[in-house]
């Protein structure tokens, strides 16, 4: 374990370099530059607000500001999770020449992909802060939960990223399966809706490990209410299991990467 | 042993031929099929092959070690195992010291990034840290001769520029053990020359170098010891000169299979007064023994000899007949031997000797060995070019104005 961490530390520079490369390449030559980081969340927010507006019409209520803010708060981490899984899934295949030609711990690829997506999240968060300010959302000490919640999402993304990148190397159609799951995932995750809307049945939706995290973020950022620690612990446990399991899975397959790619 | 930088012991590596299941769509039906039929994938065992079989060698600190062999002999597999990209199926290996593998120098380049950014990226991939790269940046750029284009995205580079930048970064990594695979074949002639010089200076700095190449000239210039691989097994190991000769003999024997020729070149030897060898000084005298053997009765024979340069351009031709030897006849099973004495007035480089047996009167060549032998010419003096004219400076003086005026007058 210790030797492994030492080795990882040795390749720290490479990890940051690859992250830097991914970020740089994404922003270079793109028409919108940094707007790119905001585009995806903005699309999710706009469609979410549309859906929310339809709910409100159907229920004969007015759409309140808190609902809109809540969609925005949940859309960003979701967009991060989707893009980090998507990028890490391709990370080994798109760096094929490095995988077969140069030695270093290969988990650097999916992890750097997650890190580059995290950079997008930070850029988008800046825009979100302005948006929340305009919407006159207040703040409270509950915001202290945010780093833990975001951290859990990052851990989850790393775990899933390692699994799908290794699996994607051996089976080329994993990429498409992941793509489909990510596209439809938004229907099973409370981004556009709240689990409360389902009444007592809502707790089944919380079994999706991403759901408690998004709900908690919405609670502590837009409603200034304490999140449910039990469900956070559940998500955290799930994320840690994904990280450890994903790492074991990745390391188990790693020796065969160069020959199988 | 403290002085060993690299060691491989009884390394085996197995690969699988043929296509593997690389999508779940194919795998699931195959597995289901196997469950029902209980054989399905049984054929797999025959599709395995051994890329390396019982390979053992060691390289000492500061030594340059060459690995030569035909395509598919397992050279690259050895490098990949040493650089830990692949695991050996059996056997063990030891690497002492920081190892850097230049398997493909521009592997880490990203087309969208500029030359400068790619230097940082590739430098990091090859194991340098940021501060090291910053301190060597100017050296790297000037070595690549790409000062003008260094802030252009590399996707706009020509392939030669690409490779030059790649080698320049790679050549400035200071590892303790350097693994080099065919990277010297980039760029134009001048750049290759500089690469060789850089390699020699890396060697002089005490770095252990493992060098893989098809370029026999480069191997014999750089490496003191070498290994010849044949189909994954060690065919020869030792002094580079003798290993190279072994390799060339291998190449020759591959062409001996044709039984239909009535007479064939059965042996070619190149030697000087000390015995058989392949490296000569420019201007040195060499003896070339050509032996021909007949399968049928043949008449009016002559032995021909050519020398070709690296680009297979013939620069010299002679034959037993033009040298005044009368035509000879052979009965089945008989052999005939000629010794040619040549002074090798070529410039530095690799030259190929072709030998043939034929008849001048009917313009027929029965058998021709291309190349029958390879010679490396070394030149210590300041001679460049294809031939050595043994230059001497006999006069050198300032031309005085008065003499010029005299001439004009």
Angle between helical axes of A108-134 and A65-94 (0-180°, round to 10): 160
pLDDT at A111 over 70: yes
Q: Residues of B332-355 as b/e, b for ≥16 C-beta within 10 angstroms?
A: eeeebebebebebebbbbbbbbbb
Question: In sequence order, what are the residues at sequence separation of 6 or more whose Cβ sits closer than 8 angstroms to the Cβ of residue A245?
Answer: A159, A163
In this structure, are B199 and B327 located in the same domain?
A: no
Number of domains in chain B: 2
Of A174-178, A182-186, B110-114, B149-153, the one with minimum mean pLDDT is B110-114
Of A244-248, B171-175, B280-284, the one with minimum mean pLDDT is B171-175
- Domain limits for position A170: 2-260
Length of chain A: 261
In this structure, are B49 and B142 located in the same domain?
A: yes
Under the banding of pLDDT at 50, 70 and 90, the label for residue B133 is very high
Predicted pLDDT at B42: 45
Predicted pLDDT at A110: 95
Find the CB nearest A171 among B27, B104, B121.
Answer: B27
CB-based contact B24 A103, cutoff 8 Å = no
Structural contact between residues A150 and A210, judged by C-beta atoms closer than 8 angstroms: no
Find the CB nearest A173 among B24, B101, B120.
Answer: B24
CB-based contact B23 A171, cutoff 8 Å = yes
In this structure, are B213 and B285 located in the same domain?
A: no
Q: Residues of B307-330 as b/e, b for ≥16 C-beta within 10 angstroms?
A: bbbeeeeeebeebbbeeeeeebeb
With 0-12 CB in 10 A as exposed, 13-18 as middle and 19+ as buried, what is B271?
Answer: middle
In this structure, are B237 and B304 located in the same domain?
A: no
What is the arithmetic mean of pLDDT over B266-274? Answer: 88
Distance CA B89, CA B12 (A): 6
pLDDT at B297 over 90: no
pLDDT at A252 over 50: yes
Residues of chain B positioned with their CB less than 8 A from the CB of A11:
none
Distance CA B218, CA A23 (A): 41
Distance from CA of B38 to the nearest CA of A (A): 24
In this structure, are B300 and B348 located in the same domain?
A: yes
pLDDT at B160 over 50: yes
Find the CB nearest B121 among A21, A255, A260.
Answer: A21
- Mutation for B interface: A12, A21, A25, A169, most B CBs within 10 A: A21
CB-based contact B85 A177, cutoff 8 Å = no
Q: Which pTM value belongs to this model?
A: 0.75
Q: Which residue has the higher pLDDT, A185 or B404?
A: A185
Predicted pLDDT at B17: 67
Under the banding of pLDDT at 50, 70 and 90, the label for residue B38 is low
Predicted pLDDT at B40: 45
Residues of chain A positioned with their CB less than 8 A from the CB of B107:
97-98, 101-102
- A 10 A CB-CB count for B140 gives 23
Residue B321, domain CATH:
2.70.50.60
What is the arithmetic mean of pLDDT over B304-326? Answer: 85
pLDDT, chain B, mean: 82
In this structure, are B145 and B231 located in the same domain?
A: yes
Chain B CA closest to residue A103: B85
pLDDT digits (tens, 9 = 90+) for B170-183: 888 877 888 887 65
Distance CA A255, CA B86 (A): 6
In this structure, are B236 and B289 located in the same domain?
A: no
The reply to whether B94 falls in a domain is: yes
CB-based contact B113 A177, cutoff 8 Å = no
CB-based contact B121 A259, cutoff 8 Å = no
The reply to whether B409 falls in a domain is: no
Find the CB nearest B110 among A25, A174, A177.
Answer: A25
Chain A CA closest to residue B81: A103
- Domain limits for position B57: 4-244
pLDDT, chain A, mean: 89
Under the banding of pLDDT at 50, 70 and 90, the label for residue A101 is confident
Find the CB nearest B110 among A21, A100, A101.
Answer: A21
Predicted pLDDT at B246: 83
Find the CB nearest B125 among A98, A171, A258.
Answer: A98
pLDDT at B108 over 70: yes
The reply to whether B392 falls in a domain is: no
Of A152-161, B290-299, B364-373, B380-389, the one with minimum mean pLDDT is B380-389
Predicted pLDDT at A161: 96
Predicted pLDDT at B408: 62
Residue B188, domain CATH:
3.40.50.300
Distance CA A47, CA A70 (A): 13
Predicted pLDDT at A237: 96
Distance CA B256, CA B296 (A): 17
Q: Residues of A200-216 as b/e, b for ≥16 C-beta within 10 angstroms?
A: eebeebbebbbbbbbbb
What is the arithmetic mean of pLDDT over B115-122? Answer: 91
The B-side interface with A (CB below 8 A) comprises 15, 20-25, 27, 80, 83-87, 101, 103-104, 107-108, 110, 112-113, 117, 120-121, 124-126, 129-130
In this structure, are B235 and B350 located in the same domain?
A: no
Q: What's A173's DSSP letter? A: T
pLDDT digits (tens, 9 = 90+) for A199-225: 888 888 889 999 999 999 999 998 888
Distance from CA of B198 to the nearest CA of A (A): 22
The reply to whether B396 falls in a domain is: no
Last residue of a domain, one of B190, B217, B244: B244
In this structure, are B76 and B220 located in the same domain?
A: yes
Distance CA B198, CA B231 (A): 32
**Tokens 């709910």 sit on residue:** A55
Sign of the alpha-carbon torsion through B204, B205, B206, B207: negative
ipTM above 0.85, yes or no: no
The A-side interface with B (CB below 8 A) comprises 13-14, 17, 21, 24-25, 28-29, 97-98, 100-104, 170-174, 177, 255, 258-260
pLDDT at B353 over 60: yes
Q: Which residue has the higher pLDDT, B357 or B186?
A: B357
């Amino acid at each position: 374990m210790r030797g492994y961490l030492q080795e990882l530390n040795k390749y720290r520079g490479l990890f940051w370099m690859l992250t830097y490369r991914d970020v740089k390449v994404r922003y270079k030559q793109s028409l919108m530059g940094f707007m790119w980081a905001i585009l995806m969340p903005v699309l999710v927010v706009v469609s979410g607000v549309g859906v929310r507006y339809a709910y409100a019409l159907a229920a004969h209520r007015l759409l309140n500001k808190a609902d809109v803010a809540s969609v925005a708060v949940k859309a960003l981490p979701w967009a991060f999770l989707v893009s980090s899984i998507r990028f890490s899934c391709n990370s080994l295949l798109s760096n094929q020449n490095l995988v077969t030609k140069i030695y270093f711990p290969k988990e650097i690829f999916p992890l750097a992909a997650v890190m580059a997506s995290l950079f997008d999240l930070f850029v988008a968060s800046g825009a979100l802060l302005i948006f929340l300010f305009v919407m006159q959302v207040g703040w409270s000490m509950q915001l202290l939960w945010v780093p833990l919640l975001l951290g859990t999402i990052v851990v989850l993304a790393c775990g899933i990223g390692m699994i799908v990148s290794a699996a994607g190397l051996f089976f080329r159609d994993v990429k498409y399966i992941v793509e489909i799951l990510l596209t439809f995932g938004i229907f099973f995750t409370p981004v556009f809706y709240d689990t409360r809307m389902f009444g007592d049945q809502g707790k089944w939706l919380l079994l999706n490990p991403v759901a408690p995290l998004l709900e908690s973020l919405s609670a502590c950022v837009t409603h200034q209410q304490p999140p449910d620690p039990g469900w956070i612990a559940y998500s955290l446990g799930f994320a840690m299991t994904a990280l450890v399991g994903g790492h074991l899975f990745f390391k188990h397959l790693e020796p065969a990467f160069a020959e199988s790619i | 042993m403290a002085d060993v930088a690299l060691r491989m012991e009884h390394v085996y590596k197995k690969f699988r031929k043929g296509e593997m299941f690389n999508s779940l769509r194919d795998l699931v039906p195959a597995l289901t099929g196997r469950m029902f039929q209980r054989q399905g994938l049984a054929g797999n065992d025959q599709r395995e092959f051994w890329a390396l079989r019982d390979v053992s060698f060691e390289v000492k600190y500061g030594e340059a070690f060459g690995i030569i062999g035909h395509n598919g002999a397992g050279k690259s597999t050895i490098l990949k195992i040493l650089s830990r990209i692949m695991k050996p199926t059996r056997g063990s290996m030891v690497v002492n010291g920081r190892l850097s593998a230049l398997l493909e120098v521009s592997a880490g380049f990203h087309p969208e990034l500029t030359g400068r950014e790619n230097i940082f990226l590739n430098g990091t991939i090859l194991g340098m840290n940021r501060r090291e790269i910053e301190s060597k940046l100017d050296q790297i750029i000037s070595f690549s001769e790409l000062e003008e284009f260094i802030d252009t995205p590399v996707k706009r580079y020509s392939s030669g520029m690409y490779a030059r930048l790649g080698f320049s970064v790679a050549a400035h990594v200071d590892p303790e053990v350097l693994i080099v695979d065919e990277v010297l074949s980039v760029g134009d002639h001048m750049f290759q020359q500089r690469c060789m010089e850089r390699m020699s200076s890396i060697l002089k700095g005490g770095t252990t170098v493992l060098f893989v190449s098809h370029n026999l000239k480069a191997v014999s210039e750089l490496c003191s010891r070498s290994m010849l691989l044949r189909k994954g097994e060690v065919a020869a190991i030792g002094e580079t000169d003798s290993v190279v000769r072994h390799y060339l003999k291998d190449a020759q024997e591959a062409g001996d299979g044709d039984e239909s020729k009535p007479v064939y070149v059965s042996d070619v030897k190149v030697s000087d007064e000390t015995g058989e060898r392949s490296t000569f000084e420019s201007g040195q005298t060499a003896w070339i023994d050509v032996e021909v053997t007949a399968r049928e009765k043949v008449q009016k024979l002559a032995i021909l000899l050519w020398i070709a340069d690296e680009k297979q351009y013939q620069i010299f031709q002679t034959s037993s007949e033009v040298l005044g030897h009368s035509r000879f006849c052979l009965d089945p099973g008989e052999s005939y031997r000629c010794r040619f004495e040549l002074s090798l007035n070529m410039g530095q480089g690799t030259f190929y000797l072709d030998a043939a047996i034929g008849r001048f009167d009917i313009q027929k060549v029965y058998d021709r060995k291309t190349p029958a032998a390879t010679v490396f010419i070394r030149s210590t003096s300041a001679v460049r070019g294809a031939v050595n004219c043994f230059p001497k400076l006999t006069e050198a003086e300032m031309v005085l104005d008065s003499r010029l005026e005299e001439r004009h007058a």
